[in-house]
């Protein structure tokens, strides 16, 4: 069975591989004061290789108004984060079907070992950062990274608030004291990468070949202009190194709150006030989040075992940008990362770190070193060709570590096999590359 058709090993209770969604249409209304969210989610989906007697969706604790299956009222059960929609007759294998869920409630983060994930109330507004399992905190979904779909999102909020999500803004209409923002994300998107920000923010346009927009608290505009001023050059450099930017545009949001870490979404990234210091102090994170648009967002892991394919390349991108922009060379950053890793326990297997360690710093640093080791082994020209062909061949697709090894195998034989075995499948830290 294809990995994309299997349950996620780390989160087997999330998502259902027996069907796939190809489009979500979300029509929602949000009131920040009472933190009240309500509306309709319509899912257009396809059954898998077996008939479906029920459609199982991931959805947190909302009040369900009604549920329709192919336009008809359906029986359902909603408990334990699962909405089970009963089919009056089994949905035939391979058949298209629609589910429509009317719901409302007070959204809150999904509990996890990393804290709350998903919908989060801000001091003034709300923010969605769902990686890896927070999407059910605000809409019913098939919450697994391998199930990628297009999105039409219509969200109504009080007019002083700006509504931002990934994708193209189709319209903004104002009636009385509310505004409705309609966005289309046509590129296939996993549920965890649908980000939303609702807050009083100022719009900033950045120049460049790829449309780039920012939404920033008014008090931070000057610092933002300095800290993100080189993002258009960064976009140009990454487009040369990794291949053409894979989406219609790129949006940066600075939430008016401090955040532990920035978070990527499809065509979008969210930073906290603490990441804008007016001194380029966090520019490496600007590079990291932008790189995720290629590695993680366009080319998406089939399940979370393969997270190094997201974080290793994004970490390497930090080093590559530093080298390109006149800072320390990638080799210097790699040596620093190696020295740090050498002082830590050697009990992490990069290609399958386990759920507990999937966001461990060692996944990022060792992942970046594995990519740097590949560059050292191949040389810059072949390495760049490998990256561009990887992102082109797997554009908007779903991948595993084995897929990447097979792709890299076209550029090297036994030498690369040994390199990957040492860096990806063994716990001990290999010798420093090169």
Report which of 305, 198, 344 is spatially closest to residue 257, judged by C-alpha positions.
198
Non-local CB neighbours of 141 within 8 Å, separated by 6+ positions = 21, 24, 41, 43, 57, 58, 59, 135, 191
Residue 123, classed as helix, strand or coil, is coil
Asked if 145 and 303 touch (Cβ cutoff 8 Å), the reply is yes
d(CA 364, CA 360): 7
d(CA 312, CA 359): 11
Report which of 211, 325, 329 is spatially closest to residue 268, judged by C-alpha positions.
211
d(CA 245, CA 290): 10
**Catalytic-residue membership of 289:** yes
Residue 312 structure tokens? 């290793």
Residue 111 structure tokens? 């509990």
Report which of 262, 263, 348, 265 is spatially closest to residue 308, judged by C-alpha positions.
348
The annotation places the binding site for Zn(2+) at 288, 292, 311
- Tell me the β-bridge partners of 383: none
Q: Check whether the bond before 29 is cis (ω within 30° of 0).
A: no
d(CA 356, CA 344): 16
Residue 260 structure tokens? 């532990």
The kind and range of the H/E element at 376 are helix 361-378
Report which of 44, 40, 42, 43 is spatially closest to residue 27, judged by C-alpha positions.
40
d(CA 388, CA 23): 28
Q: Which residue out of 100, 120, 264, 289 is catalytically annotated?
A: 289
Residue 229 is given by DSSP the state T
Residue 373, classed as helix, strand or coil, is helix
Q: Which residues are catalytic?
A: 289, 364
């Amino acid at each position: 069975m294809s990995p994309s058709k299997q349950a996620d090993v780390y989160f087997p209770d999330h998502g259902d591989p027996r069907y796939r969604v190809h489009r979500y249409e979300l029509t929602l209304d949000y009131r920040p004061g009472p933190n009240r969210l309500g509306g309709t989610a319509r899912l257009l989906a396809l059954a898998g290789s077996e008939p479906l007697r029920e459609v199982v969706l991931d959805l947190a604790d909302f009040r369900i108004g009604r549920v329709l299956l192919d336009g008809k009222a359906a029986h359902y059960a909603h408990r334990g984060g699962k909405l089970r929609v009963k089919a009056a007759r089994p949905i035939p294998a391979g058949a298209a079907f629609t589910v429509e869920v009317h719901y409302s409630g007070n959204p809150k983060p999904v509990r996890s070992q990393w804290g709350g994930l998903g919908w989060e109330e801000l001091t003034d507004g709300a923010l969605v950062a769902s990686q890896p399992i927070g999407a059910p905190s605000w809409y019913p979904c098939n919450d697994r990274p391998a199930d990628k779909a297009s999105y039409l999102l219509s969200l109504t909020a009080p007019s002083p608030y700006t509504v931002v999500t990934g994708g193209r803004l189709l319209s903004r209409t104002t009636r009385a004291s509310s505004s409705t923002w309609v966005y289309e994300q046509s590129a296939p998107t996993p549920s965890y990468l649908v980000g939303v920000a609702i807050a009083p923010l100022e719009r900033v346009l950045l120049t460049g070949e790829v449309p780039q927009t920012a939404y920033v608290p008014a008090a931070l505009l000057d610092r933002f202009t300095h800290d993100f001023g080189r993002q258009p050059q960064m976009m140009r450099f990454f487009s040369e190194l990794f291949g053409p930017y894979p989406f219609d545009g790129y949006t940066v949001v600075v939430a008016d709150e401090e955040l532990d870490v920035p978070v990527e979404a499809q065509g979008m990234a969210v930073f906290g006030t603490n990441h804008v210091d007016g001194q380029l102090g966090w520019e490496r994170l600007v590079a990291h989040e932008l790189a995720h648009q290629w590695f993680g967002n366009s080319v998406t892991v089939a399940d979370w075992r393969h997270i190094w394919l997201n974080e290793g390349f994004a970490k390497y991108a930090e080093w590559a940008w530093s080298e390109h922009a006149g800072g320390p060379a990638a080799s210097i950053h790699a040596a620093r990362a190696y020295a740090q890793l050498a002082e830590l326990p050697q009990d992490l297997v990069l290609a399958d770190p386990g759920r507990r360690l999937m966001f461990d710093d060692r996944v990022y640093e060792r992942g970046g070193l594995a990519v740097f080791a590949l560059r050292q082994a191949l040389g810059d020209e072949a390495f760049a060709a490998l990256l561009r062909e990887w992102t082109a061949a797997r554009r908007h697709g779903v991948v595993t570590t084995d897929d990447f090894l097979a792709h890299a195998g076209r550029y090297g034989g036994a030498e690369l096999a040994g390199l990957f075995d040492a860096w990806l499948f063994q716990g001990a830290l290999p010798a420093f590359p090169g």
